[in-house]
Structures are given as C-alpha cells and as structure tokens.
Amino acid sequence: MAPEMLEVPVCRRLERRVRDLVEADQQSVAHRMDHLNRVARNAKAILEFYPEADAEILYLAVLLHDVDQPFNDKANHVARSAALAERLLTEIAYPPARIARVLDVIREHSTEHIGTVQPSTIEAKILFDADKLDGLGAFGILRVFALSRQVGRSLPDTIRWYRSKIAVATPNVQTPEGKAMMENRLPLVEAFLSDLESELEAG
C-alpha cells in the first residue's frame, strides 16, 4: 500500500481485505493494487494545493473506488464498488455520515457518467484527476493494452477506445494541477498511438 494511504489508519485496517479483492482473477488487470497506489500518489500531489480537503475521505475513496471492477463488467463498476465499499466500511464500524461522503466521492469518479455526474466536492475533483492521470503516461499505456488483452479486444479497437477515453477525460479535468500533470503525460501517449497506427497500416 502506498505510504499516503498507510498514513490513514482506517485505510491500513482495510488493506488486506482490499488487496485480496483487487488481486482476484476476475478483477480487471488495470485496476489492481498498483493502480490504487499510483492514484494515491497522484492524489497526494494535487492534495498539497488543497489543505481544506479531507485527506481521510479522499484516501478511503482512492482505496475503494474500483474495489469491484470485474474485467467483463466495467460499465457497472462504480455502482458495484460503491456498494462493496459501503459494506467494508460498515463492517469496521466507520461512522455512517463519513461513509456517505466516501461513497459520494466514489460515485463521482468515472468518465463513464461524466455527462450526468460531475465531481461536486474537492475530494471528488482530486480523485477524478488522480484516477484519469493513471490512464496516461507509460503506465496508462501499459494498463490499456493489458486490459485489452484480458477482455480480448483487438489492437485497432483498443486504439479507438483509448482515444475516446482521452477525449472524454481531458476536457473534464477538474483542477489546474491535474490539468498540468495531464498535459505532461499526453504527448507520450499521442506519439505512441500515432506510431502504432502507422506501423499497423504499414502491416
């Protein structure tokens, strides 16, 4: 578990449980413990600019936002993860009012629903950006192609899917810090996808 999350006692209490869940065979390979750790690192970088944000709520949402994301049911992963997060937090007697706040952050993290569900709190804005950032850069590329292999998606379909995800994520970035980090990571992805397309066309 990333040091940022280890500093939050309630995250530490959930560590083993979450690790077992996200490392299970049916979980998307792009949404395992390493993803949660990188999102925590991104979140920390943004959180430094927002001292008013509740770090415990944020890191709990980081830890639990993809806790139930089977590789073949991405579309429902937000509702599934929120439901499981509620169960896990209730089991450890986390205060109900704070559980509700964590669940709101989880429900607002996905580009799948960004048309209708916008991040409404600073914690939700930070998670949104921290999560999208892990879809870019070298790890973003690795994750997309690893998941495509797991779901059996073709290379051309993967390129189209990846471009469509980027097209939704970038204009919806929530913080100036997230935007700057995104702009740093985008050129590598653009160059990689363009090269891959050229090489595919050349056969």
> How far is residue 138's CA from residue 124's CA, in Å, rounded to a whole number?
25
CB of 58 to Fe ion, least distance (A): 13
131 touches Fe ion (CB under 5 A): yes
Partnered with residue 27 across adjacent β-strands are 70
CB of 31 to Fe ion, least distance (A): 6
> How far is residue 52's CA from residue 71's CA, in Å, rounded to a whole number?
35
Contact stretch for Fe ion (CB under 5 A) within 46-54, 89-97, 127-135, 148-156: 127-135
Q: How many residues does the chain have?
A: 203
129 touches Fe ion (CB under 5 A): no
Residues whose CB falls within 8 Å of the CB of residue 128, separated by 6 or more in sequence, listed in order: 108, 109, 119, 172, 173, 174, 178
Contact stretch for Fe ion (CB under 5 A) within 41-49, 129-137, 146-154, 175-183: 129-137
Name which of 66 and 108 has its Cβ closer to Fe ion: 66
- One of 56, 66, 68, 123 touching Fe ion (CB under 5 A): 66
54 touches Fe ion (CB under 5 A): no
DSSP state of 76: G
CB of 180 to Fe ion, least distance (A): 20
CB-CB contact of 102 with 85 (8 Å): yes
- Where do contacts with Fe ion occur on this chain (CB under 5 A)? 66, 131
